[in-house]
Amino acid sequence: QQPVQSPQAVILREGEDAVINCSSSKALYSVHWYRQKHGEAPVFLMILLKGGEQKGHDKISASFNEKKQQSSLYLTASQLSYSGTYFCGTEMRGSNYKLTFGKGTLLTVNP
C-alpha cells in the first residue's frame, strides 16, 4: 500500500527543472507533499484533494490524476533551498485518516 516514488534521487544545477512522481496501486482520496531537510522535521508543501487538481506554491506545483492514482511534483527554476528529501503521502479511500508515505526522493541542487 506504500506509494512508489520516482526517481529515488536527482541532482540538479541551480535553475534546472525536476519532476517527482508518486503512484499508488489503490484508489486515492488525497495526496500530500512534504519536504524534509537533513536532521529536520518534514515541512508541508501542498495537498491535492480532487482528481485532476493542480496546485502551485511559488515555483513548486503539483498535479493529481485520480484515475491513474498518480501525482507529480514539479520544481521549476530550482534554487539551492529546494535541496532535501521530498515525500508524497497518500490517503486512500476509506482509510480513515491514515496517511501512507513513500520512501522519498532525494533532491540535490548544486550551484
Residues in contact with other proteins by CB under 8 A are 2, 30, 32, 40-44, 47, 49, 87, 89, 91, 96-104
Q: How far is the CB of 16 from other proteins (least distance, A)?
A: 25
| C-alpha cell, 5 | 516514488
| Alpha carbons 73 and 66: distance in angstroms, whole number | 15
Tell me whether residue 4 or residue 77 sits nearer to other proteins (CB atom).
4
Q: How far is the CB of 106 from other proteins (least distance, A)?
A: 11
Tell me whether residue 16 or residue 106 sits nearer to other proteins (CB atom).
106
- How big is the chain, counted in residues? 111
How many other C-beta atoms lie within 10 A of the C-beta of residue 6? 13
| C-alpha cell, 76 | 521549476
